Amino acid sequence: MGDTQTSSKDKEVKAKESKDKGFGKEEFRAGGDVSKSKKVQRNSTLGNTEGAEKEGKGISRKKKEKLTKRENPDADLEDFVRAAQIQVKVEPEEEDFCINKKDKVKKRLREQEEPGGSLLESAKKKKKVKMEVEEAEQEPEKQRKKKKESKVKKAKKEQEGRPVSAREGGKHKKSKEEVEAAKALKIKKKEEEELQRWRWWEEEKYEDGIKWKFLEHRGPWFPAEYQRLPDNVKFYYDGKLVTLSSAAEEVAVFFAQMLDHEYTTKEVFRNNFFSDWRKEMTLEEKMIITDLNKCDFSEIYKMHKEKVEARKNQGKEEKQKTKDANQKLLEEYGYCTLDHHRERIGNFKIEPPGLFRGRGDHPKQGMLKKRIQPEDVIINCSKDSKIPQPPLGHQWKEVRCDNTVTWLASWTENVQGLCKYVMLNANSKLKGEKDWEKYEIARKLKSCVETIRTQYQADLKSKQMGIRQRAVALYFIDKLALRAGNEKEEGETADTVGCCSLRVEHISLHPELDGEKYVVEFDFLGKDCIRYYNKVPVEKAVFKNLKLFMEDKQPGDDLFDRLNTAMLNKHLHSLMAGLTAKVFRTYNASITLQQQLKELTNALDNIPEKILSYNRANRAVAILCNHQRAPPKTFEQSMANLQAKIDNRKEQLSLAKKELKQAKKDAKDHADDKLLANVFMLHAKETVDKCPWKMNCISLQMLNRTANCQLTSCSCMALLYSNRPTAVRECRKMEVSLEKIYNKTQRDKFAWAIDMTESDFVF
DNA sequence: GAGGGGGACTCAGAAATATACCA
DNA sequence: GTGGTATATTTCTGAGTCCCCCT
């Protein structure tokens, strides 16, 4: 893989360099007055920016050293990153295949017309065949080995004169008929589910902007009101007992419940909490409680821990009760009727009050998230639907009927003043349609991406600084899948950036680094305060432009001072309808997935190997998109456990080898007891055969887990960006059951892709 | 017409919960 | 079969993007 990439990358760089010949700083300066234009107001339009004075923007900001930067990824992961970046440029060779909705509908209609086969019947047949294939696929070595094991056991028992019965230890074993019946029931349930599925992708779409014609729901569910602490749980201030008012006590409980968390050690969190807590206190309480450090929440904390522990140790019955209650709640509030179809609601519960958990160094972390009342909630539903009833004694803020939006209820939260929505689940029509649309736009980009690249390459030499900045930003978005980088209000959120909001301090230029020319080193905090660290060789023209953009600027100044996301997207719109910076992320993730799957998968591999390849392909996408997570707390322990398992197997293997040798000898020596000797021989041989295979499995597991340690879940990646039809196509081509790659929720979510994708689909 | 603000949506990581696996 | 642990899945909600409307 590496060789092809390197060579293609070299070619690319050389080709670009030859294009760049003759392009230099002097020529650029002659084209536009850069020294003047550097002081241009950031938001000026591209056309009239030259020479204007920069105002207010690019004020030097303190580099926030305390931000929770993630550790540098491992060196091999960095290599993988580079590899993945190069992948982005490699285009697949196959012809485009377009999902043809009309053809699909026609196909189904044909099936419907076929004699002796209704639509439902044909779907049933199709499903049955599919399931039979999958079942056969799932009958692997494991089951064969189980059978073999049971045979050995049976032989042993018979040898010992013990009876082999269906009942052992008095436990009822399912009869063959019962097993068959359970199987049939499962299949039937699956079929019914499939038949009930709303195949919205086969229906006509509504006119532009209309999201639904009928919407009915029960309104959101509200968390229970606060219950006072039991009398034996006390709060102390400066060693003295203080009985808090209900409002102050509730907020104190929020804090006490978080005492285990790092948040409560952060100064900003503590200050914000204390300030908001005091707002909930009575005058008397305010007079007494003046210093958070003197507050003793230990009894509340202890009570909370005990509650958590008790919940963990609930008996079966209690657990079932809780489960049933949740199910009831879901049935009652978790579904709505949208255009005569029952659709699951994604978040029907109103967010409970608590302390705001802003990420990184969010300036508002620790502030009180107030309890939402029905009076804060706007309900959206059909006029002719049954209007949801507010909880007793309350009323809604407003009931409206707006079928141009997809939300069912909304409210404004108090911390950031943002709107929150109750929306449908990911497997709903409304979400699915959007998803489908997203991939269609990304596919459309494929057909014109080369033109766009040619255009921004040319723009790198533009006389206008703004256009050059736009070209460099686009180059990064395309090559590195950076996010657009909207402007944010200073002091309102954590100091994170995207492409357009990069500052001088976020990049370092290296004319030469580790044997590569024109290397740009990125180091900034992106979305969710996830660190983006990358060293990327770029084209000479890009490098020179960056050098120019950074001249006479302070570290805290904007790198692209004449560009913002609105300008960038406006330009992208002019190149292709519906194109925005975000589309490049989807596009490049899809291309990378397809390319990686093509390179890594081998039709001759076994199923675990194919799954590993699929995970590797997804990992490449995760690296490209810089999807990271904190390493799981149990990571080190679980790796040690796996290593212990391998060691154990090694011992087992050497023992089994000795046993096998002995058993062979015994079989020769004791011809009279051949059966017993054979049983032992079989057993030892099986262990000898099995151990290396198991050890290999554990090694693969370790490899997979190490690589995944700081990356988001692989299937998650495939769901977010990578093209669903691509993954579906690959599974079918490689004869890997979709169940092995995606869980039920995920399969439900992109049922449209599963249904529409043929095995020859190409992104 | 520009641009600022906010509404509506997607994306994404952490936490909670369920399930699988193993001794 | 049981209990403990690891892993997978789901839920929750914060953090982005993008577009439209108002001034």
Separation of alpha carbons A509 and A535, rounded Å: 10
Please determine, for residue A401, whether its predicted confidence score (pLDDT) is greater than 60: yes
Q: Which residue, counting CA atoms, is nearest to the C1' of nucleotide C3? A: A313
User: Which of helix, strand or coil describes residue A533?
Assistant: strand
- Distance in angstroms: CA A637, C1' C1: 27
Measuring CA to CA, how many Å separate A344 from each of A59, A186, A333, A400, A748? 47, 22, 9, 21, 12
- For domain A431-579, give the fold: Topoisomerase I; Chain A, domain 3 (3.90.15)
Contacts of residues A204-209 at CB distance under 8 Å and 24 or more positions apart, as own/partner, are: A205/A433, A209/A404
pLDDT digits (tens, 9 = 90+) for A424-474: 999 899 998 888 888 889 989 988 999 999 999 999 999 999 999 999 999
Strand C-contacting residues in A 437-466, CB cut-off 7 angstroms: none
In this predicted structure, the answer to whether residue A640 has a pLDDT above a threshold of 90 is: no
| Comparison of pLDDT for A153 and A217, the residue scoring more | A217
Closest CA to A758 of A718, A728, A722: A728
Structure tokens at A752: 């449209």
Query: Across residues A42-52, what is the average pLDDT?
Result: 34
Q: Please check whether residue A589 is in contact with residue A722, taking contact to mean a CB–CB distance below 8 angstroms.
A: yes
Question: What is the torsional sign of CA A352, A355, A359, A363?
Answer: positive
Q: Identify the CATH assignment for A236-315 out of 3.40.640.10, 1.10.10.41, 3.40.50.920, 1.10.240.10.
A: 1.10.10.41
CA-to-C1' span, A30 to B10 (A) = 44
Closest amino acid to nucleotide B12 (CA–C1'):
A528
Q: Is the CB of A627 under 7 A from strand B?
A: yes
Helices (H), A551-634: 565-575, 581-600, 607-624
Q: How many Å from the CA of A211 to C1' of B21?
A: 45
Distance in Å from B2's C1' to A46's CA comes to 13
Better pLDDT: A410 or A696 = A410
pLDDT of residue A750: 75
User: Above 70 in pLDDT, residue A709?
Assistant: no
Lowest mean pLDDT among A199-203, A393-397, A712-716: A712-716
Q: Measure A5 CA to B13 C1' (Å).
A: 32
Q: CA at A713, C1' at C8: how many angstroms apart?
A: 10
Q: Answer whether A466's CB lies under 8 Å from A562's CB.
A: yes
Is the alpha carbon torsion for A409, A412, A415, A420 positive or negative? positive
Written as one string, the DSSP assignment of A432-443 is HHHHHHHHHHHH
pLDDT tops 70 at residue A21: no
Nucleotide whose C1' lies closest to the alpha carbon of residue A713: C8
User: What 8-state DSSP symbol labels residue A263?
Assistant: G
User: pLDDT exceeding 90 applies to what percent of chain A?
Assistant: 43
DSSP notation for A3-37: HHHHHHHHHHHHHHHHHHTT--HHHHHHHS-HHHH
> Closest by alpha carbon to A618, among A479, A714, A542?
A714
Question: Over 80: is that where the pLDDT of A615 sits?
Answer: no
Q: Where are the beta strands (DSSP E) in A202-352?
A: 215-216, 235-237, 240-242, 295-296, 335-338, 341-344
Starting at the edge strand that comes first in sequence, how are the strands of the sheet with A398-400 ordered? A398-400, A378-380, A409-412, A419-422
> Chain C bases under 7 Å from protein CB?
1, 5-20
- The residue whose CA lies nearest the C1' of nucleotide B3 is A43
Residue-level pLDDT at A733: 63
> Mind listing the pLDDT tens digit for each residue in A295-345?
999 999 999 988 888 888 877 778 888 888 888 899 999 999 999 899 999
Q: Which of residues 353-392 of A touch strand C (CB under 7 A)?
A: 354, 356-360, 362, 369
> Please, is A602 exposed, middle or buried when counting C-beta atoms within 10 Å of its C-beta (0-12, 13-18, 19+)?
exposed
The pLDDT assigned to A359 comes to 94
Task: Let me know: does A728 contact A58? Beta carbons within 8 Å.
Answer: no
Residue A611 Cβ < 7 Å to strand C: no
Identify the residue with better confidence: A444 or A93: A444
Nucleotide nearest to A41 (CA to C1'): B3
Of A199-203, A405-409, A555-559, A724-728, the one with minimum mean pLDDT is A724-728
Instruction: State how far the Cα of A258 lies from the Cα of A243, in Å rounded to an integer.
Output: 21
Closest-CA residue to A443 (of A94, A731, A128, A162):
A94
Q: Which two tokens stand for residue A394?
A: 């309350």
With bands split at pLDDT 50, 70 and 90, how would you rate the model's confidence at A746? confident
Query: In 3D, which of A726, A719, A458, A438 has the Cα closest to residue A579?
Result: A438
| Dihedral of alpha carbons A262, A265, A266, A271, sign | positive
CATH architecture of A592-756: Orthogonal Bundle (1.10)
Q: Is any atom of strand B within 7 angstroms of residue A690's beta carbon?
A: no
- A1 CB below 7 A from strand B atoms: no
DSSP string for residues in A66-123: TS-PPPPPPHHHHHHHHHHHHHHHPPP-SPP----HHHHHHHHHHHHHSTT--HHHHH
What pTM was computed for the model? 0.71
- The radius of gyration computed from the CA coordinates of chain A, to the nearest angstrom, equals 32
Check residue A734 and give its pLDDT.
Answer: 63
Report the CATH superfamily, name and number, of domain A215-222+318-426.
DNA Topoisomerase I, domain 2 (2.170.11.10)
> C1' nearest to CA of A369: which nucleotide?
C13
Is residue A493 pLDDT above 80, yes or no?
A: yes
pLDDT attached to residue A312: 81
- With beta carbons less than 8 A apart as the criterion, state whether A337 and A214 touch: yes
Distance CA A600, CA A592 (A): 12
- pLDDT tens readout for residues A265-304: 999 999 999 999 999 999 999 999 999 999 999 999 999 9
Which pLDDT belongs to residue A700?
Answer: 63
Q: How confident is the model at residue A571 (pLDDT cuts 50, 70, 90)?
A: very high
Euclidean distance between CA atoms A361 and A340, whole angstroms:
46
Segment among A114-118, A572-576, A613-617 with least mean pLDDT: A114-118
Contact between the CB of A248 and strand C at under 7 Å: no
> Is A431 near strand B, with its CB below 7 A from some atom of it?
yes
pLDDT at A39: 31
Residues of A catalogued as catalytic = 721
**Which of the pair, A553 or A689, is modelled with greater confidence?**
A553
Residues 666-705/A with CB within 7 Å of nucleic chain C are 701, 705
Is there contact between A643 and strand C, defined as CB under 7 Å from any strand atom?
A: no
Among A230-234, A647-651, A660-664, A736-740, the range scoring the smallest mean pLDDT is A736-740
A527 Cβ nearer than 7 Å to chain B strand:
yes
Q: What pLDDT score was predicted for residue A725?
A: 61
Q: What are the extents of the domains in chain A?
A: 215-222+318-426, 236-315, 431-579, 592-756
The 10s digit of each residue's pLDDT in A123-170 is 333 333 334 334 333 433 344 444 334 444 444 443 333 333 333 333
A316 touches strand C (CB under 7 A): no
Give the pLDDT band of residue A623 (cuts 50, 70, 90): confident
Q: Which nucleotide is nearest to A312 (CA to C1')?
A: B17
Name the closest nucleotide to A68, judged by C1' and CA.
B13
Nucleotides of B under 7 A from a protein CB: 2-4, 6-15, 17-18, 23
Q: What is the mean pLDDT of chain A?
A: 73
Q: Is the pLDDT of residue A731 over 60?
A: yes
Say if CB A255 and CB A277 are below 8 A apart.
Answer: yes
Round to a whole number and report the distance in Å from the CA of A166 to the C1' of B16. 41
Residue A555, pLDDT score? 94
- Residue A640, nucleotide of least CA–C1' distance: C6
CA dihedral A78, A83, A86, A88 (to 10 degrees): -100
pLDDT at A455: 94
- Whether residue A264 has pLDDT greater than 70: yes
Residue A61 pLDDT class (50, 70, 90 cuts): very low
In percent, how much of chain A has pLDDT > 70?
61
Å between CA of A489 and C1' of B4: 12
Q: What is the mean pLDDT of residues A63-84?
A: 36
